[in-house]
Amino acid sequence: MSRAAELIDRATDNPAFDGLGGYYIFIRRVAIPLLLIGVCMSSYYMSMTWFSHGTSIIFAGMVTGLSLGPIMALEQMYGIWVNKE
């Protein structure tokens, strides 16, 4: 069996992916990037009242980058919580 097939089998047999009735993969691959886009857009538009366009883009990128860690940590905590059940 190839390495890619082993990785796919390991991912599909992972009990953490059974969380939320099978929608966990959807949340991981679609909702998290959409959440990051929302953080970026909202921080950009909120900072436009105080900063110029270029500074707002830099600020939005910094806020989005700083929010990436907590969002991924919450997703990992959910996976651990699902595995305990």
Cβ(44)–Cβ(56) below 8 Å: yes
Cβ(51)–Cβ(59) below 8 Å: yes
Domain locations along the chain: 3-84
List, run by run, the mean pLDDT of 10-residue segments along the chain (85 residues).
Answer: 64 59 74 91 92 91 92 80 71
For 50-66, write each residue's pLDDT tens digit: 989 899 999 999 999 99
pTM of the model: 0.66
Q: How far is CA 4 from CA 8, 24, 58, 61, in A?
A: 6, 21, 38, 34
